[in-house]
Amino acid sequence: MIRKLKTGEYRIYSLKKNPKTGKRRNLGTFTTREAAEKHEREIQYFKRQ
CA 17, 43, 40 angle in degrees (round to 5)? 85
| Number of structural domains the chain divides into | 1
Residues 26, 13 contacting (CB under 8 angstroms): yes
Pick from 23, 47, 45, 19: nearest CA to 11: 23
Q: What is the pLDDT at residue 47?
A: 87
pTM, full prediction? 0.84
Domain around 34 = 2-47
5-43 residue pLDDT tens: 999 999 999 999 999 999 999 999 999 999 999 999 999
Query: What does each C-alpha distance from 2 to 9, 26, 47 come to in angstroms?
Result: 10, 10, 17
**Between 7 and 49, the higher pLDDT residue:** 7
